[in-house]
C-alpha cells in the first residue's frame, strides 16, 4: 500500500498539541503506512514527540508556525489573521498535493471558508455540508448532514445534501439503497418551513433515492434512516444535544473517585453492577468514536474535529479522514453526481 499523508492543524481545538500529538502517535502505531505533515509551534510540539522511536519520527514532517487564530474572533477578523496560520497551511498542503487530506479542530466557520477558498467544489455543488457518522442503539451507524456549515439551507441545497449523503452512505456504510429522511418538527405533510416542505416534494419525485419522508428528533438514535438531512442550525443543535446526553450517561458509569465519600462510592459501584448490560449498549453511542465531521462537497478530504475532543476522540477524527481517502469519497461523489 502506498504511503498516505495527512496534513494536521496541530494547534486547533481547545487543547492544541496536548491532545493532537498523542492522537498522532496512536495513529502512527495503528497505521504503518501513514505519514503526517504537522503545522504548529515547534516549541510546544517537539517535546511531545521525543519519546517516539526513530522509525515513527521519519514519518513526520513538522512545519513551524507560531501563528494561531482564536476561536472567539469575529469571522472577518479571523479571516484576516488566518494567513500563515496552522489551519491555512494544512489546507494549502492538500492543494499542493503534499497531503491527501486535512484534519483540524479549529474554528468551523474559518475552516469552511479557507477550504472553499483554496479547494475546489465538486460539480453541481453550491456549498459543502458538514457531515458525520452518528451512532444508533442497535450498533449501526447513520449519516447526518448538515451539522453547522450552513445555518440556512433552501430546498435546492437540501436536495444536494441528499444526493451527496446518499453516495456517502453507499460507500462508507456499504449500503445499496440507503434510507433518506428530512429532519423536521413533525411527520405531517404541512409541517416545517417552506424550504423543507419544497425539498420534501422534490425528493419524493427522485426515483433513484430511497426517500422515506420526514422524521422527528426522537428517532435520531433508532436507526430510523441511514441518511438524515437538515440545515446546519437544526443539525448542530441536534448533534450537540445527542452528544451531551451520551457523555452525561456514560459519566454516570465511570468508576468513583478514590477520594469520594465511601457511601457514594458504594452506591455507584452497585448501580454499575446492576446496569452493566445497559452500559455496554451505551458504549455504542460513545461520541468519541464518532468524532470527525467531513466538509462533504469538496474535491479533497477535509475533516473537522470537535474543539473539545480528547486524544482518543481526535484519533477517531484522523481515522475518519483515512477511511475517506482510502475509499476515494470525493471522486465517487463526483462520479455519482455526473451520472445523475
Checking if the pLDDT of 215 tops 80, the result is: yes
Do 275 and 151 lie in one domain? The reply is: yes
Nearest one of 117, 102, 81 to 5, comparing CA atoms: 102
Do 285 and 306 lie in one domain? The reply is: no
Q: Supply the pLDDT for residue 263.
A: 66
Contacts of 126 (CB under 8 A, 6+ apart): 156, 157, 160
- Residue length of the chain: 340
Do 164 and 119 lie in one domain? The reply is: no
Nearest one of 14, 72, 76, 9 to 41, comparing CA atoms: 9
Q: Mean per-residue pLDDT for 66-92?
A: 89
Checking if the pLDDT of 279 tops 60, the result is: no
| CA 188 – CA 208 distance, rounded (Å) | 23
Backbone angles phi, psi at 334, to 5 degrees: -60, -45
Q: Mean per-residue pLDDT for 127-133?
A: 94
| CA 300 – CA 138 distance, rounded (Å) | 32
Domain tally for the chain? 2
Nearest one of 24, 120, 82 to 317, comparing CA atoms: 24
Do 211 and 331 lie in one domain? The reply is: no
Q: Supply the pLDDT for residue 3.
A: 84
Do 119 and 141 lie in one domain? The reply is: no
Q: Mean per-residue pLDDT for 2-22?
A: 93
Which three cell numbers mark 50?
A: 521525543
Do 78 and 169 lie in one domain? The reply is: no
Do 118 and 104 lie in one domain? The reply is: yes
Backbone angles phi, psi at 11, to 5 degrees: -85, -10
Do 11 and 110 lie in one domain? The reply is: yes
Span 160-192, pLDDT tens digits: 999 999 999 999 999 999 999 999 999 999 999
Do 96 and 226 lie in one domain? The reply is: no
| CA 133 – CA 237 distance, rounded (Å) | 16
pTM for the predicted model, two decimal places: 0.88
Checking if the pLDDT of 95 tops 80, the result is: yes
Provide the CATH number for the domain around residue 165: 3.40.718.10
Span 31-73, pLDDT tens digits: 999 999 999 999 999 999 988 888 889 999 999 998 888 777 8
Q: Supply the pLDDT for residue 221.
A: 86
Do 121 and 137 lie in one domain? The reply is: no
Q: Mean per-residue pLDDT for 186-212?
A: 95
The pLDDT mean for the chain works out to: 89
By residue range, what is the domain housing residue 173? 127-256+264-290
Do 269 and 323 lie in one domain? The reply is: no
Q: Supply the pLDDT for residue 260.
A: 57
| CA 235 – CA 32 distance, rounded (Å) | 36
Do 151 and 120 lie in one domain? The reply is: no
Amino acid at each position: 500500500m502506498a504511503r498516505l499523508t495527512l496534513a494536521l492543524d496541530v494547534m486547533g481545538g481547545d487543547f492544541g498539541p496536548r491532545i493532537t500529538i498523542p492522537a498522532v502517535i496512536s495513529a502512527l502505531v495503528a497505521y504503518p503506512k501513514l505519514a503526517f505533515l504537522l503545522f504548529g509551534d515547534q516549541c510546544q510540539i517537539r517535546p511531545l514527540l521525543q519519546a517516539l522511536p526513530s522509525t515513527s519520527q521519519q514519518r513526520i514532517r513538522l512545519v513551524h508556525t507560531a501563528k494561531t487564530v482564536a476561536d472567539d474572533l469575529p469571522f472577518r477578523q479571523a479571516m484576516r489573521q488566518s494567513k500563515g496560520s496552522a489551519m491555512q497551511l494544512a489546507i494549502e498542503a492538500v492543494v499542493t498535493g503534499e497531503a491527501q487530506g486535512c484534519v483540524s479542530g479549529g474554528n468551523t466557520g474559518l475552516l469552511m471558508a479557507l477550504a472553499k477558498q483554496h479547494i475546489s467544489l465538486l460539480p453541481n455543488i453550491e456549498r459543502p455540508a458538514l457531515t458525520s457518522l452518528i451512532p444508533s442503539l442497535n450498533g449501526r451507524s447513520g449519516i447526518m448532514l448538515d451539522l453547522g456549515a450552513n445555518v440556512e439551507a433552501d430546498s435546492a441545497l437540501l436536495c444536494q445534501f441528499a444526493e451527496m449523503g446518499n453516495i456517502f452512505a453507499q460507500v462508507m456504510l456499504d449500503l445499496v439503497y440507503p434510507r433518506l429522511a428530512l429532519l423536521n418538527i413533525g411527520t405531517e405533510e404541512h409541517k416545517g418551513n417552506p424550504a423543507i416542505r419544497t425539498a420534501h416534494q422534490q425528493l419524493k419525485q427522485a426515483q433513484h433515492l430511497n426517500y422515506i419522508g420526514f422524521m422527528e428528533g426522537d428517532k435520531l438514535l433508532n436507526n430510523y434512516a441511514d441518511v438524515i438531512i437538515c440545515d446546519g442550525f437544526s443539525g448542530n443543535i441536534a448533534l450537540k444535544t445527542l452528544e451531551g446526553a451520551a457523555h452525561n450517561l456514560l459519566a454516570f458509569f465511570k468508576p468513583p473517585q478514590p477520594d469520594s465519600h465511601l457511601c457514594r462510592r458504594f452506591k455507584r459501584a452497585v448501580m454499575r453492577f446492576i446496569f452493566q448490560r445497559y452500559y455496554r449498549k451505551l458504549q455504542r453511542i460513545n461520541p468519541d468514536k464518532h468524532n470527525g465531521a467531513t466538509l462533504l462537497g469538496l474535491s479533497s478530504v477535509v475533516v473537522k474535529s470537535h474543539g473539545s475532543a480528547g486524544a482518543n476522540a481526535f484519533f477517531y477524527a484522523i481515522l475518519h479522514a483515512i477511511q475517506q481517502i482510502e475509499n476515494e469519497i470525493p471522486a465517487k461523489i463526483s462520479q455519482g453526481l455526473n451520472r445523475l
